Amino acid sequence: MFVLISQRDVPAEKGANRDALEQDYVSYYAKFGITLIPVSNNSENIEEYFKLPIYGLILSGGNNVNPKLYNQESKYPSDFSVNRDNTEKKLLELAIKKKLPVLCECRGSQFMNVFFNGSLIQNINDEIGTNHVAVAHKIRIIDEKVSSFLGKTETIVNSFHKQGFTKEQLSKKLESFAIAEDGIIEGIYHPEYPIAGILWHPERSGCDEELNKRLIQAFIKGELFWKK
């Protein structure tokens, strides 16, 4: 099974930008029979990727989302990438057009929220007073159908993001299914399109492996948020 995946945009010191995808993504999703096809942030013809026999799309972590996309000025030093934002916008538009399942991770979920006209907290630590970088924390599964499918009402996830959103910033077009104790939303989905996002990283240690397994299997089987 072939799945497209977005990549981190890394500016080089001498001007030659680089795309980067952590190898953990490749090895983790391979366990589920998924072969990832990385999409360059410098691709001019994103449509060409969709001519391949792909099953779906993953929006990966890394980089921040440009605050200008949700009508704010940047309050902090940030590593946002205009090229990456444009690339993921095209990827989502084409995936929706072709009715392909989409899984968003971490930054991918933040971009998903902004794509559907939501906004972000630019720095959770400064604005909420809690840390979501390199920690593990509890989340509650607040959607009964999702908790029934996953077999849990709460669990532990890893966390590697400075940006995030609460109910106040959540797009009116999206629904939340998981939330942290500080009010940061950890899981979202679109009620009409087969698109869902999580703020944690299944491919990294520090979270519920069994719950992640059920989520990824639902993604590839077309169940739960991705039901056909």
| 135-194 per-position pLDDT tens digit | 999 999 999 999 999 999 999 999 999 999 999 999 999 999 999 999 999 999 999 999
| pLDDT band at residue 66 under the 50/70/90 scheme | very high
Write down the pLDDT at residue 11: 84
- Output the pTM of the full model: 0.96
- How far is residue 96 CA from its own chain's centroid? 15
pLDDT per position as a tens digit, 110-130 = 999 999 999 999 999 999 999
Q: Which residues are catalytic?
A: 106, 201, 203
Residue 138, number of CB atoms within 10 A of its CB: 11
SS3 label, residue 28? helix
Q: Does the structure show a pLDDT above 80 at 6?
A: yes
Residue 98: pLDDT over 80: yes
